[in-house]
Amino acid sequence: MTRPFDVIGTTVPKRDGAEKVTGRTRYLHDLVLPRLAHGKILRSRYPHARLVRVDARRARALPGVLAVLTGDDVEPRPFGFAKDQTALKRGKVRSVRDEVAAVAAETPEIAEAALALIDVEYAELPAVFDPHAALAPGAPLVHEELGGNAHPLRYQFSCGDVDRAFAQAAGVVEDSYRLTFVTQACLGTMVAIADWDLAGNLTMWTTTQVPFLYQRDLGEGLGIGGDRVRVLQPPNGGNFGRGLDLYPIDVIAALLARSCRRPVKVEFDRVEEFIACPGREPCTIRLRTAADGDGRLLARDAHVTIDNGAYTSWGSTTPYVMLATVAGLYRVPNVRFDTTIVYTNNPYSGSMRGYGNPESTFAVESQMDDLADRLGLDRLELRRRNASKPGDVNPQGFVLTSFAMTECIDAAAEEIRRDPPPLRPGWKRGVGYAGMFHVAGGARIYRSDGCGAIVKLDDFGKVSLLTGASEVGQGSETVLAMIVAETLGVPLERVDVVNSDTSVRPWDVGTHASRTTFIAGNAARLAAEKLKAQLLEFAAVELEEPAARLDVKNGVVFVRSEPQRRLPYERVVRAGHLRRGGRVLVAEAFYDPPTTMLDKDFQGNVSAAYTSACQAALVDVEPETGKVEVCRIVSAHDVGRALNPGAAEGQVHGGIHMGLGYALSEKLVVEEGQILTQSFMDYAVLKAADMPEIVVRLIETVDAEGPFGAKGLGESGVIPVAAAVANALKDALGVRFTELPITPARVRAALAGRGASKDGR
C-alpha cells in the first residue's frame, strides 16, 4: 500500500530531544549576561495585614547591594487579568505571596542577606480562607474598595427547561465534589531576566507562553509602550499553563534592572516556587444529573464555587471550560450552570493543563457511573447511548465536525481487560471509565485566535519557518517543521524553526487551548503552499514548462508528465536568485480559524474542531492499608490525523502522569493562608516506578479544517484520569470518592465510615 505522505504520519524524534537528554540545552536558569545582577523578593509574613512601615535602609547599606525597591519607590500600576494587583504592595498585604520589597545585588547570597535586613512592621488583620465564610456578613474584606468578597466575574448559562426535565426524570443523582490546590511542579522554577538599553528599550528573557500578550501587558505594567519591549524565550523546564499571565516576578525584574542599570535575573528556588507559582484552583462543584428510563440524559444542573485567592489570574476563568464540559460531554438537552467566585486571603491560582476540565470531568463522569447504577444499566452502554456524534450542535452552539466519541469508548473497553495481571490475595480490583470533551482547534477567548507564519527558502535550499507559536516542550517545532516539509516537498532535515524572538517572529495569541498544531500548523501550511507556488514559478523558467505542470517531491522539482525532467530544488532557488529580475523566496500567512467568541449568554462556536477521548483504568486496592495501585491505563483519543504518532502518544503519557498525581497523591497544602508544602518530599509527584502500563489508541477521523486533518491533543491526556480512577475504585470497593487526591488515608476513612454506617453506629 502506497503511503499518502512522505513526512506526515511518521514518528519523528523531537528536535530538541537529543540536546536535552545530553545536557546541552541551556535553559533560562543557565543564562548569564555580562554584569548580571541577581534579584530576590521579600514576601509577606501574614496573609492579611496593614503595612505600617517598610524600612530598607540597612539593606541598601549592605556592600554588594545595587538596588532595593518597596511599594513606595515605584508607581503602583495595576496589572493582571482583572487589574487588581501591583508588583510591590503598598498599604496592606492580602496573602503570603504578596511582594513587599525587592533587592538586586552582585550575588544571590548578598541579595538574600539584604532581604533579612529589611525591617517590616505589620498590623495583622482578620483574614478569611473559606469562600463561604468570605461571603458571610461582616467577613473581613480582601479588597475594601469592592465592598464585599464576591468577585464580579460570574458565569451563568441556561438552556432548555431544567426543572421540568428533573421533575420528569426516571433517575437523578446529585453530589458535591471538592478539588484542592495543586501546582504544575515544573522542573524549571519561575525565572525572568530583564535588561534595558540606553534608549530605554527593555529586553525580557522569559518562559511565557503568550509572548505578544506578555509584551503588551508588561509594557502597560511599566508605563511604557509594548513596542519598547522585546521578548526572548529560551528553552524552559516546563510550563503546563503556568506561563499564560504576567506576574509580579516579571515586573519586579524589570523595575530592578531599570533602577540599578544592569541586567537582573530573578529566579525562584523550590520553596518559593511552591509559594508563588499560580497552580490549579481549588473549587467545589455541586452537580445534579437526570436521565429517562432508557438512560438518555435529560439535564445537568451545576454550581461551581471557586476560591479566587487574593488576586485574579486565569484560575478564576476556568468555569469557561467547566461549562463546556457540563454542556458538551455527551448529549444533554437541558443545562443550567452558575458560579460563585470569591476573594479570600489564600494564594491566587492560574492556568494549568486542562484548564478546569479535569475538575468538571471528575464530577460529570462520576455521576455517569452513579446514574448507570441508579438505572440498572451498564456503565459503557449508558455512555454509548449518550455519545455525541459528528454534526451535533451542543447547547452552547459548539459545532462538532469530526468526532469519534463512540469509537474511543469501544477502543478503551476492548483494551482494558486484555491479559490482566493476577490479583494479589487480600486486594480488590476495579475497572473505571471516563470520557472527555475538549477544544481541539483553538478557543476564541480573544478577538483573534490567529497565528502568523513566514517561510523563507535560501540559496542553499535551507527552509526557515518563522512562527508565532511558542515551543514549551510539547514538540511543536517538530510537527510544524513536518507540516512545512510535507507541503513544500523538501526533506525534513532541511527545515529550521525560528520562534523565540518577538522582534523577528510573526504575531500569535499564545500556546494554550490545545491550539498550536491546529492553528500554527494551518498558518505554516498556508505559507508553505504560497512558497511552493513561487518555487514552481522559478522552476518554470528553468524547465521551460508552465508552473501548473510542475511539482516538487523529496527535494526534486519535476514535470508531472515527464518525471525524468527534473532539477534539485536548491538549484532552482539559486538560479532564481542569480538571474536578472530575481527575488527572494519568502511567503507569509496568517490563520485565524472560522470561530466566534461566546456572547453574553455563553453561546457561540469557540473552536474550529472538538475532540473526544475515553480512558479506562484497571486499579487494584488493598482495603487494609488503603494502598491504591493503578495497573493499566488505556487512553483512546480522537486526534483527527496523527501527524507524528510517537509524539502524540508521548503527549498522552505525560498527561496521564499529571492526571494520576491529581487523582492519587498531589496536594499543595494551604492552611490558614500559609503554604506548608516545601519540597518534592512533601508534594508527592509520582515517580517513574509508580506509573502503570499505558496503552494509547489514536483514533484518526481526519478533520476537514485541520492541517492534514489533525486536531489538537496537548491537554486531552490529563483530563479524564482522575474520574476513571475514582470510578475504578467505586467498582472495586463500592465507595464513591468525591474529593481529590484519593490517598490511602482517605480510602481507609471511607471504608471505616461505610463499616460504621452498616453497623448502625
- In sequence order, what DSSP letters do the residues of 39-51 get, joined into one string? EEEEE-SSSSEEE
- Cell 540559496 belongs to 459
The residue ranges of DSSP E strands in 143-236, in sequence order, are 157-159, 171-179, 191-196, 202-206, 229-232
Question: What would the mean pLDDT of 526-541 be, rounded to a whole number?
Answer: 97
Question: What would the mean pLDDT of 165-172 be, rounded to a whole number?
Answer: 98
- At residue 758, the pLDDT reads 52
> Could you read off the pLDDT of 465-474 as tens digits, one per residue?
999 999 998 9
pLDDT grade, residue 760 (50/70/90)?
very low
Look at residues 603, 694, 699 and name the one whose alpha carbon lies nearest to residue 645. 699
Distance between CA atoms of 642 and 711, rounded to whole angstroms? 8
Question: What would the mean pLDDT of 1-25 be, rounded to a whole number?
Answer: 90
Look at residues 2, 107, 87 and name the one whose alpha carbon lies nearest to residue 43. 87
3-state secondary structure (DSSP) of residue 278: coil
Distance between CA atoms of 484 and 482, rounded to whole angstroms? 5
3-state helix, strand, coil in the chain (%, to 5): 30, 25, 40
Give the count of beta carbons closer than 10 Å to the beta carbon of residue 322: 26
Question: What would the mean pLDDT of 649-671 be, rounded to a whole number?
Answer: 97
Residue 761 has pLDDT above 50, yes or no: no
Residues 6+ apart with CB under 8 A from 761: none
- At residue 43, the pLDDT reads 98
Longest dimension (CA), the chain: 96
> Could you read off the pLDDT of 277-315 as tens digits, one per residue?
999 999 999 999 999 999 999 999 999 999 999 999 999
Q: Residue 204 class from Cβ within 10 Å (0-12 exposed, 13-18 middle, 19+ buried)?
A: buried
Residue 361 has pLDDT above 70, yes or no: yes
Q: Would you state the cell numbers that stand for residue 450, as one nine-digit string?
A: 490567529
> Cβ(118)–Cβ(65) under 8 Å?
no
- At residue 90, the pLDDT reads 96
Residue 759 has pLDDT above 80, yes or no: no
User: Residue 270 to residues 36, 281, 320, 413: CA-CA distances in angstroms?
Assistant: 22, 20, 31, 41
Distance between CA atoms of 518 and 533, rounded to whole angstroms? 23
Provide long-range contacts, Cβ within 8 A and 24+ apart, for 444-449.
444/593, 444/595, 444/596, 444/597, 444/604, 444/606, 444/607, 445/320, 445/513, 445/597, 445/606, 446/509, 446/597, 447/597, 448/509, 448/592, 449/509, 449/515, 449/519, 449/592, 449/593, 449/595
3-state secondary structure string, 107-125? CHHHHHHHHHCCEEEEEEC
- At residue 667, the pLDDT reads 97
- Cell 514552481 belongs to 536
Distance between CA atoms of 208 and 661, rounded to whole angstroms? 24
Residues 6+ apart with CB under 8 A from 417: 431, 618
pLDDT grade, residue 755 (50/70/90)?
low
Q: Would you state the cell numbers that stand for residue 230, as one nine-digit string?
A: 522585546
User: Residue 438 to residues 98, 214, 428: CA-CA distances in angstroms?
Assistant: 34, 25, 33
Q: Would you state the cell numbers that stand for residue 171, as one nine-digit string?
A: 433517575
Strand 119-124 to strand 191-196: parallel, antiparallel, or no bridges (unpaired)?
unpaired
Distance between CA atoms of 346 and 344, rounded to whole angstroms? 5
Q: Would you state the cell numbers that stand for residue 8, as one nine-digit string?
A: 506526515
Look at residues 501, 496, 488, 469 and name the one whose alpha carbon lies nearest to residue 15. 496
pLDDT grade, residue 577 (50/70/90)?
confident
Considering just the CA atoms, what is the radius of gyration of the chain in Å?
A: 27
Q: For the chain, list the domains and their CATH numbers.
A: 17-23+450-591 (3.30.365.10), 31-125+185-276 (3.90.1170.50), 283-443+599-758 (3.30.365.10)
* Higher pLDDT pick, 298 / 4: 298
Residue 510 has pLDDT above 80, yes or no: yes
Distance between CA atoms of 719 and 440, rounded to whole angstroms? 13
Q: Residue 546 class from Cβ within 10 Å (0-12 exposed, 13-18 middle, 19+ buried)?
A: exposed
Residue 651 has pLDDT above 90, yes or no: yes
Q: Would you state the cell numbers that stand for residue 187, as one nine-digit string?
A: 522542573
Distance between CA atoms of 198 and 456, rounded to whole angstroms? 33
Q: Residue 390 class from Cβ within 10 Å (0-12 exposed, 13-18 middle, 19+ buried)?
A: middle
Residue type at position 269: D
Q: Is the peptide bond before 126 cis (omega within 30 degrees of 0)?
A: no
3-state secondary structure (DSSP) of residue 365: helix
pLDDT grade, residue 84 (50/70/90)?
very high
Look at residues 388, 336, 385, 330 and name the one whose alpha carbon lies nearest to residue 361. 330
The DSSP letter of residue 501 is B
> Could you read off the pLDDT of 175-210 as tens digits, one per residue?
999 999 999 999 999 999 999 999 999 999 999 999
> Degrees (nearest 5) of the Cα angle 608, 611, 615?
170
Residue 519 C-alpha from the chain's centroid: 16
Question: What would the mean pLDDT of 566-594 be, rounded to a whole number?
Answer: 92
- At residue 576, the pLDDT reads 87
Look at residues 588, 566, 564, 575 and name the one whose alpha carbon lies nearest to residue 461. 575
Residues 6+ apart with CB under 8 A from 303: 285, 286, 287, 337, 338, 339, 340
> Cβ(521)–Cβ(483) under 8 Å?
yes
Q: Residue 713 class from Cβ within 10 Å (0-12 exposed, 13-18 middle, 19+ buried)?
A: buried
User: Whole-number mean pLDDT of the chain?
Assistant: 96
Distance between CA atoms of 551 and 570, rounded to whole angstroms? 14
Residues 6+ apart with CB under 8 A from 293: 170, 171, 375
pTM: 0.96
User: Residue 365 to residues 434, 545, 633, 720: CA-CA distances in angstroms?
Assistant: 6, 61, 16, 8
Residues 6+ apart with CB under 8 A from 322: 155, 285, 302, 304, 337, 356, 357, 359, 360
Strand 65-70 to strand 428-439: parallel, antiparallel, or no bridges (unpaired)?
unpaired
Residue 553 C-alpha from the chain's centroid: 37
Q: Would you state the cell numbers that stand for residue 540, as one nine-digit string?
A: 518554470
Distance between CA atoms of 495 and 463, rounded to whole angstroms? 5
3-state secondary structure (DSSP) of residue 251: helix
Residue 481 has pLDDT above 80, yes or no: yes
Residue 1 has pLDDT above 80, yes or no: no
